[in-house]
């Protein structure tokens, strides 16, 4: 039986049932005391509970067609990890919106209608391709978040950083699960790349709509200085959080690309070390 899982043997996809007390931080501009930077991360969080349910469903759809026991185990681990992420970010989102007067139903309604459209117009394989693409984006953002130069390290309260880094580490552990399933069921390179172009567009629009909603409620929507700083935060040379992941993002369009061509095990080991220390403290 061919081995279809490319997750390294020393990287178990193991769900960790973690809870983080971030209520206090969420009532503030917790990222660098900056409204745009905070809204950007909060808007990403808004997309997770529904987005990650879509990922779980897209991958689980193919579980019965996979014979490789290792990949089957990876799929179970993936669903478990994304399940805990959903729960933590749901709590995060509800606490955030209550504390700051944001309209969670309205933001989620947009996402729901996008997902409904995906079910209506995309085949299961196309939804899996979209999932693999979004998982690559998540993984390269995660890579950046676990890097020692990540701006969040000096700019966020400890519990908030711990939550985002836990999520980031598990995203790295399961970064090729959807991808390996996509390959195992015969997904083409052409569809894979097309899905990435579409997924990038929808994700960026969704996050930006969340940012707009939050800044409008904060009465900072027309603060141009804030937007200029936000632009640098995303795109400035060397430091912009999207600029930093650009070359890793582009790799997805290379024929024969696989997520584990980027060996991110040292980052995972570094996180695990810090985590052990944090839990002992």
Residue window 233-262: x/- pattern of binding to Fe ion, with contact defined by CB under 5 A: ------------------------------
Beta strands per DSSP E along the chain = none
Length of the chain: 281
Can you tell me the distance from the alpha carbon of 229 to that of 251, in angstroms, rounded to the nearest whole number?
28
- 137: closest CA among 246, 58, 236, 37? 246
85 or 183, CB closer to Fe ion?
85
Can you tell me the distance from the alpha carbon of 48 to that of 118, in angstroms, rounded to the nearest whole number?
16
Binding residues among 153-182 for Fe ion as defined by CB under 5 A: 171
Instruction: Count the residues of the shown chain that bind Fe ion, applying the rule CB under 5 A.
Output: 3
- Minimal CB distance to Fe ion: which residue? 85
Distant-in-sequence, close-in-space partners of 154: CB < 8 Å, separation ≥ 6: none
> Binding Fe ion by CB under 5 A: which of 38, 54, 56, 85?
85
Running DSSP on this structure, what letter comes out for residue 40?
H
Decide: is 89 part of the binding site for Fe ion (CB under 5 A): no
Smallest separation, CB 12 to Fe ion (Å):
15
Decide: is 86 part of the binding site for Fe ion (CB under 5 A): no
Of the candidate spans 75-83, 119-127, 157-165, 229-237, the one that interacts with Fe ion by CB under 5 A turns out to be: 75-83
DSSP string, 84-97: HHHHHHHHHHHHHH
Smallest separation, CB 89 to Fe ion (Å):
8
Residues that bind Fe ion (CB under 5 A): 82, 85, 171
């Amino acid at each position: 039986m061919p081995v279809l899982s490319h997750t390294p043997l020393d990287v178990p996809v193991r769900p960790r049932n973690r809870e983080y007390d971030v209520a206090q931080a969420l009532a503030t501009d917790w990222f660098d005391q900056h409204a745009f930077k905070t809204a950007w991360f909060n808007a990403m969080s808004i997309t997770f509970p529904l987005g990650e349910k879509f990922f779980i469903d897209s991958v689980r759809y193919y579980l019965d067609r996979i014979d490789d026991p290792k990949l089957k185990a990876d799929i179970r681990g993936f669903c478990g990890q994304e399940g805990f992420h959903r729960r933590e970010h749901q709590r995060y989102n509800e606490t955030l919106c209550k504390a700051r007067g944001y309209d969670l139903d309205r933001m989620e309604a947009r996402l729901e209608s996008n997902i409904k459209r995906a079910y209506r117009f995309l085949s299961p394989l196309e939804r899996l391709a979209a999932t693999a693409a979004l998982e690559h984006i998540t993984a390269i953002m995660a890579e950046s978040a676990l890097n020692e130069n990540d701006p969040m390290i000096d700019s966020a309260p400890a519990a908030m950083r711990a939550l985002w880094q836990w999520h980031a580490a598990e995203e790295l552990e399961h970064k090729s699960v959807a991808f390996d399933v996509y390959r195992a069921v015969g997904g083409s390179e052409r569809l894979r790349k097309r899905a990435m172009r579409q997924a990038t567009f929808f994700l960026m629009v969704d996050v930006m709509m969340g940012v707009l909603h939050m800044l409008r409620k904060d009465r900072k929507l027309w603060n141009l200085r804030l937007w200029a700083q936000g632009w640098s935060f995303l795109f400035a040379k060397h430091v912009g959080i999207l600029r930093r992941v650009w070359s890793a993002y582009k790799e997805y369009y290379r024929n024969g690309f696989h997520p584990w061509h980027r060996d991110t095990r040292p980052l995972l080991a570094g996180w695990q070390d810090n985590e052990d220390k944090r839990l002992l403290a």
